[in-house]
A and B are shown apart, each in its own frame.
Chain A
Amino acid sequence: MNLLIEMFAYDFMLRALVVGVAIALVAALIGVPLVLRRSSMIGDGLSHAAFGACALALAVGVMPTIPALIIVLLASFLILQISRNRKIYSDALIAILSVSSLAIGVLAISLAGGINIDLNSYLFGSILSVGYEDVAISLILALIVVILYIVLFKKIFAVTFDAEFAKSIDIKVNLYDAIFAAICSVVVVIGMKLLGALLVSGLIIFPALIAMRLVKTFRGVVVAASVISIVGFLLGLILSYVLALPTGATIVAVDLIFLLLAIILDRCC
């Protein structure tokens, strides 16, 4: 208990806690439909795009959050639009987006005169980089997503289970895809500060995969993924503080252990 009081006596830890819990919840909520529709790699692609955008912004001396958000949103809509075209392989497209963004980021750093501390924090995550605007954005986002989820839960299920049937009963599947891509973009840009561009997609993918091993109803998976995501984040944050480890990597490692335990539990029961 004393440890927790000591931890959260720091302002930056409190900000990281609020942002982390909010982003972990939202990431789990959007992660379930993305994983079930085999679209979870979109998070990985977008995180690399976010890195490229941040690098560019820092290279020209601009605060990176808003430019990154705009570029990642555009990238997500581009991925959606092109993935509907049967002539293009969407996984290849995401891979191209990832490597191109990394290349642009590295070139921007090089042209600006080498890597600086801000960029490092975007690559590997840093709880120190979480500002008050991130607290506001993540809380508003979490509120919007939770309300959307409650109101649209049944339609989200229908779209996730069978998009063709959903279209046949006049559910606007493309609009749902666009909303999920937009939410995914915000999760990636804000979550990237905590976990880093290379790890943030773990927040989207792990909770859904773990929950699917433990629960067999859609509603159950959504609830379980949300709880697992928040618990994994909290445990990772505390462990990283106690053991002086990088926060993002510790959170992902905790999620990996949860997944392995869930697989063992699923096989044994």
Chain B
Amino acid sequence: MKNEILKLEKLTLGFGDNIVIKSADLSIKQSDFVCVVGANGSGKSTLIKGALGLIKPMSGRVFLKDDLKIGYLPQETNFEVNFPATVREIVMSGVLNKMGRRVFYNSDDYKLMTEKLKLLKIVGIQKKTFSELSGGQKQKVLLARALMATSELLILDEPSNNLDYKSRQEFYEILLKLNHEGLTIIMITHDLDVEDLIGNKVVAIQKGEIKEFTTVKYLEKFK
């Protein structure tokens, strides 16, 4: 299909004998903003990890556009609280998928970092350590790292966790701006949290099966 950048075909995912996602079909086109919803433990993270290639499928396939670079923002709970790293060290590591055999960062890499930090309004914290940051700042730093890795497809796993209302709104405004500029976004969000459904599509997961809606249709069903 034209403009398709990611496609899942009869994808089944799970751990051992436990099937989490059953035979999922999904097509993501360029500039889509897809919200993935479902109850806790429904398989939202498993689905995107399968799409990212972090989990081997039990059956089915994942098709990615040729040379597609993906930026991934994992759940914040994955990180060591006192990890000794500066914002700069973390954000720069996002560019590693573009370095090929290069060992050291070059001036273009540093320019890209400054551009992303400016976009997210966090230039001033680049020398701070990760543990010093607020929840909102941490999410922006991880988003900056993901944006260093891609200008095509961004995948976010519950980015609004631990964010207060104001930080969440600010974070979503940035995502919408990036999406309007052409970035495709897949975002896991809390089940039925209407305010989080800011994209054009909703993928709902229930009992291992996925259903695709336009956001409007999903909200109508929800009401």
Contact = CB atoms under 8 A, between A and B. Distances in A.
Contacts of B78: 162, 164
A151 B105 CA distance: 12
Contacts of B16: 86-87
Interface in A198-220: 212, 215-220
A169 interface: yes
Contacts of B15: 86
A217 B89 contact: yes
A217 B93 contact: no
Q: Which of B16, B78, B83 has the most CB of A within 10 A?
A: B83
Interface in A209-253: 212, 215-221
6 contacts: A36-B83, A154-B105, A158-B93, A164-B72, A169-B72, A169-B96
Given A87-B16, A158-B96, A162-B79, A221 B84 contact: yes
Interface string A153-176: 011011001101111111100000
A216 B129 contact: yes
B188 to A, nearest CB: 14
B52 interface: yes
Contacts of B145: 165
A117 interface: no
Q: Which of A86, A171, A212, A216 has the most CB of B within 10 A?
A: A216
A155 B89 CA distance: 11
B74 interface: yes
B157 to A, nearest CB: 9
Interface in B63-105: 69-70, 72, 74, 78-80, 82-86, 89-90, 92-94, 96-97, 99, 103, 105
B93 A161 contact: yes
Contacts of A212: 82, 84
Contacts of A165: 72, 74, 93, 145-146
B89 to A, nearest CB: 5
A19 B66 CA distance: 49
A269 interface: no
Main secondary structure of the interface of B (DSSP, over half): mixed
Contacts of A170: 97
B24 interface: no
Given A151-B103, A219-B89, A162 B84 contact: no
Given A212-B82, A220-B84, A169 B149 contact: yes
Given A164-B78, A165-B72, A165-B145, A216 B84 contact: yes
A171 B96 contact: yes
Contact of B85 (A164, A166, A218): A218
Given A167-B53, A169-B70, 12 more contacts: A150-B103, A154-B96, A154-B103, A157-B85, A164-B49, A166-B96, A168-B72, A216-B131, A217-B89, A218-B83, A218-B89, A220-B84
B96 A168 contact: no
Interface in A164-193: 164-171
Q: Which of A154, A167, A169, A221 has the most CB of B within 10 A?
A: A169
Interface in B40-77: 49, 52-54, 69-70, 72, 74
Contacts of A155: 96
Q: Which of A87, A168, A221 has the most CB of B within 10 A?
A: A168
Nearest to B98: A169
Contact of B52 (A36, A154, A161, A168): A168
Nearest to B82: A212
A169 B89 contact: no
Interface in B163-184: none
Contact of B93 (A150, A157, A164, A215): A157
Q: Which of B53, B78, B85, B97 has the most CB of A within 10 A?
A: B85
